[in-house]
Structure 1
Amino acid sequence: MKRIIFLVIRLIYRIPGWLMTIHRYNKHKEEVSFEERFDFTQRLIRKVNEKSRVNIHCYGQENLPEEQGYLMAPNHQGLFDALILIGTHDRPFRFVIKKELMNVFVLKDVLRMIDALAIDRENIRASVKVIRQVSKDMKSGISYVIFPEGTRCRQQNKMLEFKGGTFKSVMDAKKPIVPVALIDCYKVFDNNSIEKVDAQIHYLPPIFYEEYQDMSSMEVARLVQSKVEQCILENENKF
């Protein structure tokens, strides 16, 4: 909470303009391309990250496939996860999020602006509809981020079990999966401090369709989780 208050104070002169732009983009979405809306969001997030007293260490951007339409599958540590992803991934992408986030003040407007898809985990029919939409989008060249744990893990750099359902859309689309390891991102907002912290993001080598085509979704989930887990074990004491 202290860091959030600190950020609001440091960026108070920018916030009214940002909110007006977000409102305008949402009101006239059909007139503004997704790429333009994502670019605005990325510039906003990079400014927030710059002022947050977080040293961001990004690795493996060269591993990202040249062709768009892949799935990024990171572990989930908290609010800063989205900020570090948007801040370090140069090309536009979309999020699949839990529907509860669409009720959060201001955040819901940002998510709507960047075309995030909300999934209701209690509604199977609605969930299947989202999975089909994501698969269709990836086939057309739109990349996505889905957190395979389904919710954040509150045990620092530990992880919850990756869910197989996360990967059904990318498996149907026959597109690459990029495992993403987030390390120490929980420290940014969980430590209730404004002391400088280090946070890492590692884009790992992609897993292509040819490598997972004979696997079940649960086997794919375990494979991706093992790669993320190994990266965390190798790097969590780096700083």
Structure 2
Amino acid sequence: MSIFRTIALFVYLFGYMIVHYSVLCKAERALAAGDTETVRRLVKKHIPHWSKGILNVTGVRLSVEGLDNIPKDGPCVFVANHRSYYDIPLLLAGLDEPYGILAKEELEKIPLLNRWMKLLGCVFVQRDDVRASVRALNDATAIVESGRSFIIFPEGTRYKGEEGGAGEFKAGAFRIAVKTGAPVVPVAISGARGLFEAHGNRATPGTVYVRVLPPIRTAGMSRAEQKQLPDAVRQTILAEL
């Protein structure tokens, strides 16, 4: 049964984008014309719908807690642990609205998906190129400065260890929050890897838990607090996994 769910996943993933290709083109025309409100409306309607569809066809049930912890008075930087390919659609479907993501450069090469991600405000990063990484962080910082929240996975890659663990949280991504003074909102994701990667990249039904934790203020942080921030956020997330 898992092989049929996996096939359905990829058929749906690209099928939705093909069926709604005219919407994509409309949003891109609006972006070119500077009509950001139309872009935001189309993105807010279609990306969560697409993401929820991915979960539905693979039998994934999503449990979300703590949405009231998302600041209402300005942008924030969501910081989440990264275990699975599911993590991106989980956050696009589970948060109060879809937000741009600091994503690996490989996703920029996937037709149609890359165009939707650019409309969403995603920034693609080359992890093995220091200068390109700095440019990506600067681009993400500019997005937060413009008033839009942003999502980062500070481990930089999927953690392949046991459930309940997490890799090192790299400091670079936290500069987005520190430079803008935006609060960091930790997000703990558990159960996703066990429904896909743990079964040889075959989709398996089950429940994934997303917990949005209280925000951490960065405005006015001392140098010492800034240095401790990555590990402090990591420990906060680990306590929830």
Is TM-score (shorter-chain normalized) higher than 0.5? yes
Q: Supply the AA of the counterpart residue of 1:91.
A: E
Gaps of 5+ in 2: none
Q: Supply the AA of the counterpart residue of 1:206.
A: P
Of the three residues 88, 91, 95, the one matched with 1:89 is 95
Change (3 A) 1:7 1:111: same
Query: What residue is the counterpart of 2:217 in the other structure?
Result: 208
Of the three residues 155, 171, 185, the one matched with 1:178 is 185
- Give, in angstroms, the shift of residue 193 of structure 1: 4.5
CA contact (8 A) 2:12 2:54 kept: no
Change (3 A) 1:198 1:25: same
Query: What residue is the counterpart of 1:54 in the other structure?
Result: 60
Aligned pairs, number: 232
TM-score by length of 2: 0.84
Query: What residue is the counterpart of 1:114 in the other structure?
Result: 120
1:124 is aligned to 2:119: no
Q: Distance in 1 between matches of 2:193 and 2:75?
A: 28
Q: Distance in 2 between matches of 1:49 and 1:177?
A: 27
Query: What residue is the counterpart of 2:240 in the other structure?
Result: 231
- Give, in angstroms, the shift of residue 105 of structure 1: 4.2
Deviations 1:60-88 (A, max 9, x none): 11111112311000000121101110101
Query: What residue is the counterpart of 1:73 in the other structure?
Result: 79
TM-score by length of 1: 0.85
Q: Supply the AA of the counterpart residue of 1:146.
A: I
Percent identity at matched positions? Answer: 22
Query: What residue is the counterpart of 2:70 in the other structure?
Result: 64
Q: Secondary structure at the match of 1:167?
A: helix
Deviations 1:195-236 (A, max 9, x none): 42111101011101257444354411000000000000xxxx
RMSD: 2.5
CA contact (8 A) 1:74 1:181 kept: yes
Q: Distance in 2 between matches of 1:160 and 1:143?
A: 24
Change (3 A) 1:19 1:79: farther
Change (3 A) 1:83 1:13: closer
Change (3 A) 1:109 1:15: closer
Deviations 1:151-188 (A, max 9, x none): 11112422110001110111011110001101011123
Gaps of 5+ in 1: 233-239
Q: Distance in 2 between matches of 1:177 and 1:149?
A: 15
1:147 is aligned to 2:153: yes
The farther-off stretch of 8-17 and 110-119 is: 8-17
1:169 is aligned to 2:176: yes
CA contact (8 A) 2:6 2:202 kept: no
CA contact (8 A) 1:70 1:176 kept: yes
CA contact (8 A) 1:67 1:141 kept: no
Of the three residues 26, 29, 32, the one matched with 2:31 is 29
Query: What residue is the counterpart of 1:236 in the other structure?
Result: none
Deviations 1:77-116 (A, max 9, x none): 1211011101011234211112122123443233223221
Q: Secondary structure at the match of 2:196?
A: helix
Query: What residue is the counterpart of 2:18 in the other structure?
Result: 16
